[in-house]
Structure 1
Amino acid sequence: MATVLSVSGSPSASSRTNRLLRHLDERLTAQGHEVIQLDVRSVPAQALLGADFGHPAISEAAGLFARADGVVVGTPVYKASYSGVLKALLDLLPQYALTGKTVLPLATGGSTAHVLAIDYALRPVLSSMGAAHVVQGWFTLDRDITAHEDGTITVAPSAAEALDHVVDQFSAALAARPAVGPVAAAPTPPALAAAG
């Protein structure tokens, strides 16, 4: 099927966001996709904060994005926006790192007041990076995710149903994408990227 890069933008290994992504990775794997995990918190802080474009960890992350057919981007919402560590990584990737890719944005937060963070903060950035298709994302309330000591989670039934739906839509979009060769290095014009 497709190669999916699952990016956790949480600064905490034990966060609900991180655990939710890993839970959804299992669904994508069961659907036949190869899932590669990238936890932004594992990228050295000096590379992110120092904007070290040449750092091996940044080059490796860029390579993972280039290899993927689709990208799942998960983030906690802080101050009505996605996490700073995720922003730092996205800023260091090539301008059109998402060209030709199908992208699923996901967010978690403590209040429905943050539900628009996907559409007003994250989606425009993903589109500006050339994503071919940013599918419908989903915001999950922290209270709908119960973390267990063994690292697993339980998702409240209504949230689980919605998450399954958006993941399945993402998977279907990956299956429907046109078969193309390697993506050319030429940037997508901003008007076309925004329309995707």
Structure 2
Amino acid sequence: MSFVLSVSGSPSRTSRTARLLRHVDARLTARGHEVVHLSVRELPPAALLAADTSHPEISAAVALVERADALVIGTPVFKAAYSGLLKTYLDLLPQYALEGKSALPLATGGSTAHVLAIDYALRPVLQSLGAAHVAQGYFVLDRLIAVREDGGTVLDAEADRGLARTVDRFAEAIDRTTQPLAASA
């Protein structure tokens, strides 16, 4: 079983990005992975903006990355790029914080015109942080993520099928990269 850190870079309290991540987290958990969620918006703003890694909550958020075998990074797309909040968090990580880890970039947005933000904005940052494998990302239009009356999340059927394929391939990549470590332990 691998430890997966699920990071929401959405500044919104009622985030569709966070809902999408919860959906992905449940799928990874069902496949036997331990998943912990980190909402960057809940970190102390002054310490986050100052990159104060001595602050206990910021230190703990960095330690989660160190502990993780893999990360799912979710962000809304604003002005053809990932959120500034996510950028602030990624900037405080050590240069090779993702070394040896797999990463899955996910994005939400109001238009398919933003789909390239994954490959042209987020993927290069994850690679520069040393990720051993950056999985094919997935983009979901905001309007395809709905809230049920019971508060649960439902995705458009086609978006859900595509997301499921993406998450399953990512889980298989995690298994491939962490099995040699488990076998040598």
Superposition TM-score tier, normalisation by shorter sequence: over 0.9
Instruction: Give the Cα separation in 2 of the matches to 1:154 and 1:27.
Output: 13
Shift of 1:13: 2.8
The RMSD of aligned alpha carbons is 1.2
Residue 181 (structure 2) aligns with: 180
Length-normalised TM-score, structure 2: 0.94
Residues 147-181 of structure 1: CA deviation (Å, up to 9, x unaligned): 23533111001100000001000100011115238
Size of the aligned set, in residue pairs, is 181
CA distance in 1, matches of 2:6, 2:37: 5
Q: Percent identity?
A: 62
Q: Is the 8 A contact 1:48 1:85 kept in 2?
A: no
The residue that corresponds to 1:93 in the other structure is 93
**Distance apart, 1:88 and its partner CA:** 0.3
CA distance in 1 between partners of 2:54 and 2:120 (Å): 30
Q: Residues 35-54 of structure 1 correspond to what in structure 2 (within 5 A)?
A: 35-54=35-54
Per-residue CA distance 1:59-114 (angstroms, 9 max, x = gap): 11111001111100000001110011110000001111100001000000000110
Q: Flag structure 1 segments of 5+ consecutive residues without an equivalent.
A: 182-196
1:26 maps to 2:31: no
Query: How far apart are residue 53 of structure 1 and its match?
Result: 2.7
Between the aligned partners of 1:53 and 1:171, the Cα distance in structure 2 is 30
Structure 1 ranges of 4+ moved more than 6 A: none
TM-score, reference length from structure 1 = 0.89
Q: Paired residue for 1:157?
A: 157
